[in-house]
Structure 1
């Protein structure tokens, strides 16, 4: 079998996951119903979103659970684990752990962040999941430590905490992050942290949305750059990813596209959200469903590293105009099945090793 044939065959083995925060459009869409739809569509794992633990736990225990009541949350997590086993779903990762690193030494925010980390590890143990997703912080740098080494030190301490329980840290470049918005930024951080249990949570939206797309411009692209120049620059970045990042340092690739806003977003922080964060919240469909980012190029680059781990659908396709979304119209079951078809089409598009 030649190299191209081996590549195509290996791509077919990629395991598929679905984020629980990316399905369900109303309160009636409970976690058990989400798990059923995800399982019936053929996915074999989930990213479990912390808000789903809170929502399900409040239903299970009959009262609202506080986000720091870890005794109750562990009880709920144990029950969720049983639900997943019944649906033959692996809890691949707990997410999203946000705004952890870089708080000033001695600050209450830093104390709270580390207390939260210890509680989330307890939840991970109950879920029997081994990956914690940590998004690169989006707190304004003026509010954080002015020593870049403090960011590294915080993540090293978190890695060591996770290691005591045989857990791993998947570090993600949120494209609106104030200190690490690109894949190269988070890779540099992971390299400096230098722990065996830290790797990357890569994301087609986050990578293409930080280096190619921009919701604040009329074209939806960075600085209204010419498409030829932008594609050339982005392809060079993806080639660097493919040749730089070891496959064992990639823990998963999250999959989504982006819609171009009808009018450019205001280029400032509104209600605590940067423009790209607002873009992420409501404008992220599954691939081949109205988006415009070069998501295939990201997926292809990740596969060219030799990575054959989790591809996980994480989409947030709201309707800013207030109309019914496609998920509301067709229901969770069909929505999850369409997501599976989208995943299969994406992987098929990546089977040609000659495409870069």
Structure 2
């Protein structure tokens, strides 16, 4: 099915928006009137530009406050419409969107609305144009799709149909099942947007918080299914008003938009990309660093040993139990300080995982490798983190990435680390929703509820994605402000059977744990009962504590930050599925305090 996007959904000039839409693979665009008015290009130039890019102009929008008005106002409206139709003819657009009126002059008279829309359609037909009438969720008298359709049906004009908009329908809680009763040929256009479930004025909700399908809480796929069953043959088009999208770079936003439509089409049976291949574990986390000594010191204090070195690259393998960390001191490490740059995901079908990722527009990364190196497939996540699809260690049919490393003799026992419990990636401020959609659709991970976490300087949004058994957990978050992009913190959490022993061993080896205010542990005493001496031990070592409704506990502590990375030691009771979110404000405040002290 053809895909389209409204230019209002992207940032930049009209030329930039058109280029981004074409590069992302859209078939067409809706030209938003304000974008045309602000462009130095003539309508003929825009038409030619779209043709050069392979884009059709599927809709011109919007025309407002047209119907159910006094006769003298209608005459003025038709004069205005004639000018717009002349412009559309120059533009090469043959469908115009008319929104239900919000004017105080509009009368609550369906017969009058139908009669005046028919007169508008008569004029449009003279220009070879059709009119798609849409119910705004905040329309003065017409605010539901079935009401708008009743008026269109009453008018009975061949050049007049309806436009269905998922936001306007679902934000009001309307039942989309009635769409099946509308003849497909009278559904002239379909606009799609998702949105988080919020309790607020619907106009403000629409203007600021729409998002792409799959990023919010609406059943957009269910609505599209009803529209397809009605016989609709037009494009699936995105119309998203979003403050973040308006400020973010148009190219990545367009790719995110296109990915959302590919997944939507998959969910309703209109497309069949390769099946998701859910990762079964974390093979490694890779740190880029210009200074290996601080990283080595922390890893060594955590009980990791440098067990191998890559045969052709400046990359060391540090290991304890099943937890593996690669330390890369290559040229790229000199740019941004120590950072978590790549994640190896164990996959039952690495090639299939890569095919799925590429089909959903994940950038495939070129990889410099020697002939004897394992052929690892890699793609980039929205935040730039490299994702490698690795064969499981016990898969004898595929070469293992560990075969690229030559063993070293530097080994020592560690304090009980089992594996990487989770990874936490702070996203660029404009990529949070895109990241959640990417990890769910490309990697097949299940998203958990989004939570807000208080930071001394704002709020962090956080949302974790996991596989079914929790062997892959990635916590995605976004900081309070765009300036946080420059210092986005990331961290690796190591699971241990005894966090107290691990914390003591780390400290005795010269490691520095993040200090936690005494007030925090005083409050713990008010919330929970502990065994004798338990709370005092937590206070001594800076261990944080949480307990869920089932009684399962979570104990964790943090190292101080190296570059942009810090480490966490966690002891997770069976059944505890969270990440100690209630403790995050304390951790964030403590990290800010350490940073200020050092500064």
1:253 Cα deviation (Å)? 1.1
C-alpha change, 1:148 and 1:310, in structure 2 (3 Å) is same
1:49 Cα deviation (Å)? 0.7
**Aligned residue number for residue 33 of structure 2:** 50
Query: Does 1:138 find its partner at 2:102?
Result: yes
1:83 Cα deviation (Å)? 1.3
**Aligned residue number for residue 312 of structure 1:** 237
Q: How does 1:61-80 map to 2 (within 5 A)?
A: 76-80=42-46
CA distances 1:242-300 after superposition (whole Å, capped 9, x unpaired): 1x111111112111011234xx43xxxxxxxxx322211001000122x1122111111
Query: Does 1:249 find its partner at 2:186?
Result: yes
Contact 1:171 1:190 in 2 (8 A): yes
Gaps of 5+ in 1: 1-13, 61-75, 213-233, 266-274, 319-324
List 4+ stretches of structure 1 deviating above 6 A: none
**Aligned residue number for residue 488 of structure 2:** none
Query: Does 1:343 find its partner at 2:281?
Result: no
| Mapped partners of 1:299, 1:94: distance in 2 | 22
Query: Does 1:95 find its partner at 2:32?
Result: no
Contact 1:174 1:206 in 2 (8 A): yes
Contact 2:86 2:127 in 1 (8 A): no
Q: How does 1:120-269 map to 2 (within 5 A)?
A: 120-140=84-104, 143-145=105-107, 147-212=109-174, 234=175, 238-242=176-180, 244-261=181-198, 264-265=199-200
Contact 1:327 1:335 in 2 (8 A): no
Query: Does 1:15 find its partner at 2:13?
Result: no
Contact 2:46 2:91 in 1 (8 A): yes
The one of 203, 206, 223 aligned to 1:298: 223
1:127 Cα deviation (Å)? 0.9
C-alpha change, 1:20 and 1:351, in structure 2 (3 Å) is same
| Mapped partners of 1:328, 1:49: distance in 2 | 17
C-alpha change, 1:189 and 1:146, in structure 2 (3 Å) is closer
1:166 Cα deviation (Å)? 1.6
Higher relative contact order (CA 8 A, sep 6+): 1
1:111 Cα deviation (Å)? 3.5
C-alpha change, 1:98 and 1:327, in structure 2 (3 Å) is closer
Contact 1:105 1:145 in 2 (8 A): no
Contact 1:251 1:310 in 2 (8 A): no
1:115 Cα deviation (Å)? 1.7
CA distances 1:290-349 after superposition (whole Å, capped 9, x unpaired): x1122111111001112231110111122xxxxxx26645x2111101101100111111
Aligned length: 270
C-alpha change, 1:21 and 1:50, in structure 2 (3 Å) is same
**Which one has the bigger helix percentage?**
1
**Aligned residue number for residue 50 of structure 2:** 84
TM-score by length of 2: 0.44
| Mapped partners of 1:246, 1:187: distance in 2 | 10
The one of 100, 104, 113 aligned to 2:70: 104
CA distances 1:20-61 after superposition (whole Å, capped 9, x unpaired): 11100xxxx11111110000000011100110111103xx5x
